[in-house]
Amino acid sequence: MNYSIVLTRDADADIGSAFAWYEPIDPNLAVRFVSEGRTTMDRIAQFPFRFPRINDTVRAALLNRFPYTLYYSVEYDEVFVIALLHQRRSDDIWRQRSHHRS
For residue 101, pLDDT over 80 is answered with no
Q: Are 82 and 75 in contact (CB under 8 A)?
A: no
For residue 76, pLDDT over 70 is answered with yes
Condensed to tens digits (0 to 9), the pLDDT of residues 28-47 reads 999 999 999 999 999 999 99
Q: What is the mean pLDDT of the chain?
A: 91
What is the band of 9 on the pLDDT scale with cuts at 50, 70, 90? very high
Which helix (DSSP H) or strand (DSSP E) does residue 31 occupy?
Answer: helix 27-46
- Ordered by start, the domain boundaries in the chain are 4-99
For the structural domain made of 4-99, what CATH number should be given? 3.30.2310.20
57 contact partners, CB below 8 Å, separation of at least 6: 73, 98
Condensed to tens digits (0 to 9), the pLDDT of residues 57-74 reads 999 999 999 999 999 999
Mean pLDDT, residues 51-57: 94
80 contact partners, CB below 8 Å, separation of at least 6: 6, 8, 72, 73, 74, 101
